[in-house]
Amino acid sequence: MEYRKLGHTDLTVSALCLGTMTWGEQNSEAEAFEQIAMAREHGVNFIDTAEMYPVPPRPETYAATERIIGNWFRQHGDRDAWTLASKVAGPGNGISHIRDGQLKLNRQHIVAALDASLQRLQTTHIDLYQLHWPERSTNFFGKLGYQHQSNDLFTPLEETLEVLDEQVRAGKIRHIGLSNETPWGTMKFLQLAESRGWPRAVSIQNPYNLLNRSFEVGLAEVAIREQCGLLAYSPLAFGMLSGKYEQGARPEGARLTLFSRFARYSNPQTVNACSRYVQLAREHGLDPVHMALAFVTQQPFVTSNIIGATTTDQLRSNLDSSEIRLSDELLAAIEAIHQDQPNPAP
């Protein structure tokens, strides 16, 4: 396993990060524990969660994922062996069960969310605390183009960053990160941090995969030059790049079979591009999972690649991708498909 610096911090994290958003919905606590143990055996020291998890978000399962992780720490006593990341939720549809649905990234909500996460996780601090998505209206969660709303009222970024600074000073969090953020938002947070002496964001967690490389357009340079590296989520595009959904297949128990809401990678052009990538991997004697994950992991702007699985077989395959290095020939072939069908999925 390769290890990389988390931004400008003294933390070194594994190039693969253990994703957890299925725990408490598609996975039981016992299954989650198996995944944690397996990831640890493979050298993973980085685990990512969120107050909103598992997904799809439901009142009945709210925060179950953090509770599972907290139970692991309590039973195994290895909290210090992990770099622990979590997130505070922003406003949005379908999450009215979280703090009455009136979510803001202000002092009241951040403090309440953080304190509750610490209690569930059974820890005194979170190493990386992230803003799950912006409070303002902007292009994230499947929207490529920005449409300005002049009447958009949102918590000033200064207030958000100031309360995060207070939590860092209180020892509740060590570092802060962004998620589903834009180039403007990222640079604004960094500018405010520098001018006010507040904590700098050390990472940005956005989608990145062979079907959605939009991060490269405006954020890759920011990630490298500002030491705010990408924590890539959906590296397999909801499992599409594994090949298991080829020709319209819907395997029993798979995410796209169970939940209709996950439709970001289902349009015709995306399905076509996906088939081309799957076929390319097989032509080169590679598991499509390994090619897709290795492509993400070896990008220079990526700090860690967030892998998630619902079975230990899937997780083992994902972890094995850390041993793969794509050849220049294969990278050129990937680029040829990308040029022909650039970013078919938003």
Residues with a catalytic annotation lie at 53
Work out the burial of residue 224: count CB atoms within 10 Å of its CB; fewer than 13 is exposed, 13-18 middle, 19 or more buried.
middle
Closest by CA to 334, choosing from 302, 301, 295, is 295
Closest by CA to 233, choosing from 268, 253, 208, is 208
State the first-to-last Cα distance of the chain, in angstroms, to the nearest integer.
30
Distance between alpha carbon 183 and the CA centroid of its chain, in Å? 17
Distances in Å between the Cα of 153 and the Cα atoms of 91, 156, 268, 296 are 12, 9, 36, 35
Closest by CA to 115, choosing from 130, 126, 127, 102, is 126
Helix, strand counts (H, E) of the chain = 12, 10
User: Exposure pattern of 59-98 as b/e (b: 16+ CB <10 Å)?
Assistant: eebbbbbbbbbbbbbeeeeebeebbbbbbbbbbbeebeeb
**Residue 327 CB neighbours (<10 A):** 9
